[in-house]
Structure 1
């Protein structure tokens, strides 16, 4: 009912919030829960500002006619949902994000299948960026909408820069104390990115965590754990580049699921 209210008038598609029903299984599943919660908060803010949303994974609802009008699904795309969203937006369509409703999915509990899943996602983002960037720049849509699309499909590139900046910031901070004001890596731009990103990173994580009403100790530990978890983006980038450069045969890497925790009750409304 709530989702359908979003699909009225000129809206072509809606993406709902995604939560992990097995978030308490281990460290990795908990971090994915925080990851999706933090990303969802960002999309809620964008929707409140009137910015466009995107389709991704479970919990997406799209009008049939909108799919037909934009040229239908691209079965060759690695991330066909992202591809479809970009096509709808380039055709002048509108996608919204619904934070009031949530669908539940199983978080990946082991590192190897997680990297397999994320490499596929990253390849899909990069391919969408490479294929559609010229089309986006030439499209007859508002400049704000163009920038919103480019920002979203450049997600992995931006995050790599941010965490590369984090590493440089940490290395130089340690060197200043250990080697008496010596800067080991003289790269001011990534250093600045690292410092600015720290200011932006932690408030968003804290807001996402606060939704679960955690205890103060667990709250602080989860912030630290999530910060450490996000460094997986760096090896992920190099794994993605290796796969793209080697031009390996494109295969659909189905995410492994075990069904652990699936008997847990599902909330009807998740704000």
Structure 2
């Protein structure tokens, strides 16, 4: 109810502001100012990153080789029989002396439970946890159940399709050592990025996220966990009372609560976790819908704590407040455009008043393009022309995905009941697709 009331107040206030003040001045300048302020902040983060990089070149970070906490690797599984064995084989190759693996079957309807039981028998450092069919739904509840039997001083969470290099923990662990650091997030990369246009755009989106996360880390802002490849101190988890069972995005909710409690989160771009990109549009929409809903809901739920927490650093608070603009922009722009169209149709405003809306929309798209191009050049070492082409595709992809979903989720929060289903991303689709192709080829040969 709190989330609904806060969002209603924001939407109503924005609508009244735009409708009334459009008669006196162009309220789109307010949106333009918001976009400009965010752009300046991004430039500031980039400068901070370059300064930090220069300082590290002069004074390299000293790594404490003795800091090797026992790590519990948790892998939540729901209908993952097609990928979990491959994932476990990859995890077991990690070059680190002290870790255990907990595989959690969350009410699967396939053979996942039997597969992870067999893996438990095969390897002494693997524990299989089978949840009851009537267990509380959601990934957070899964992780909380696993915490009850976890032995680790640090908890590493992987998705069931994750793969990493053998030195993954060696890169991640040193970032966790400082006392004020509660968690570290690895860089996420789409493993099958060249499968089709959607997977390429997803990978480019992840590269943009890497760019922003590095920037936020450089200014000691509110770096966020991303669910897959997140390493969290047990002390920090216990300090905030574990994962929130009533959130639909466990990682974003935990990120916010860690910052509110005064814990810092670091981002480690050198440690990469690979995951499977979604190859079909509708499953992608479902995944992004859940992500956006979780993001908006956590802002609505914790906005008072973010603004007034005594433990949260001012930098993290300002950084998180700045990033709220990525959700305000779509709503403001669409509302502005609809009100202008209504006034033009009612002959209360000239047709020319729509031109400024088109210009601002173009500037928002340009912002996406420049951010994507810069990120692809820096982190994927993409040639200039390729980066421009990929950035253009990704900008269109983001506008198609982002704007409609932000509006849809706002409507859902205002008028629909909160859905607590995990909304898990389907894994193994590429393998399944290849198997279907192979089967079709066999049938053709028979003919």
Which TM bucket (shorter chain)?
Answer: 0.7 to 0.9
Separation in structure 1 between the aligned mates of residue 241 and residue 174 of structure 2, nearest angstrom: 25
Q: Secondary structure at the match of 2:354?
A: coil
Separation in structure 2 between the aligned mates of residue 31 and residue 94 of structure 1, nearest angstrom: 30
Deviations 1:7-60 (A, max 9, x none): 112211001100000000100000000000011011112212332311112111
Partner of 1:105: 275
TM-score (norm. length: structure 2): 0.50
Q: 1:151, CA displacement in angstroms?
A: 3.3
Partner of 2:370: 203
Partner of 2:183: 13
Q: 1:184, CA displacement in angstroms?
A: 4.9
- Paired residue for 2:393, among 225, 249, 265? 225
Partner of 1:185: 354
Separation in structure 2 between the aligned mates of residue 18 and residue 82 of structure 1, nearest angstrom: 15
Bigger shift: 217-226 or 227-236?
217-226
Q: 1:127, CA displacement in angstroms?
A: 1.1
Deviations 1:183-239 (A, max 9, x none): 251666x855753x4564333211222243445553332122111111121221233
- Paired residue for 2:220, among 50, 53, 67? 50
Structure 1: give runs of 5+ residues left out of the alignment. Answer: 169-181, 263-271
- Alpha carbons of structure 1 residues 164 and 37: separation in structure 2 relative to 1, 3 Å: farther
- Alpha carbons of structure 1 residues 260 and 84: separation in structure 2 relative to 1, 3 Å: same
- Paired residue for 1:146, among 317, 328, 345? 317
Partner of 1:38: 208
- Paired residue for 1:237, among 406, 425, 432? 406
Partner of 2:54: none
Q: Secondary structure at the match of 1:12?
A: strand
Ranked by relative contact order (alpha carbons within 8 Å, sequence separation 6 or more), the top structure is 1
- Alpha carbons of structure 1 residues 213 and 94: separation in structure 2 relative to 1, 3 Å: closer
TM-score (norm. length: structure 1): 0.80
In the alignment, structure 1 residue 212 sits paired with structure 2 residue 380: yes
Separation in structure 1 between the aligned mates of residue 193 and residue 218 of structure 2, nearest angstrom: 27
Deviations 1:147-176 (A, max 9, x none): 222334x265145258759x97xxxxxxxx
1:126-141 correspondence to structure 2 within 5 Å: 126-140=296-310, 141=312
Q: How many residues align?
A: 247
Deviations 1:92-147 (A, max 9, x none): 11111111111001111111111111111111111111110112222113433212
8 Å CA contact 1:164, 1:194 repeated in 2 = no
Structure 2: give runs of 5+ residues left out of the alignment. Answer: 1-169, 338-350, 433-447
8 Å CA contact 1:163, 1:194 repeated in 2 = no
Separation in structure 1 between the aligned mates of residue 407 and residue 228 of structure 2, nearest angstrom: 27
Q: Secondary structure at the match of 1:123?
A: helix
Bigger shift: 227-236 or 103-112?
227-236
- Alpha carbons of structure 1 residues 229 and 203: separation in structure 2 relative to 1, 3 Å: same
Bigger shift: 226-235 or 251-260?
251-260
Separation in structure 1 between the aligned mates of residue 317 and residue 418 of structure 2, nearest angstrom: 31
Separation in structure 1 between the aligned mates of residue 255 and residue 219 of structure 2, nearest angstrom: 19
Q: 1:254, CA displacement in angstroms?
A: 1.2
- Alpha carbons of structure 1 residues 249 and 16: separation in structure 2 relative to 1, 3 Å: closer
Bigger shift: 118-127 or 20-29?
118-127
Partner of 1:22: 192
Separation in structure 2 between the aligned mates of residue 235 and residue 202 of structure 1, nearest angstrom: 18
Separation in structure 1 between the aligned mates of residue 306 and residue 376 of structure 2, nearest angstrom: 35
Partner of 2:259: 89
Separation in structure 1 between the aligned mates of residue 431 and residue 198 of structure 2, nearest angstrom: 15
Q: Secondary structure at the match of 1:17?
A: strand
8 Å CA contact 2:216, 2:319 repeated in 1 = no
- Alpha carbons of structure 1 residues 241 and 23: separation in structure 2 relative to 1, 3 Å: same
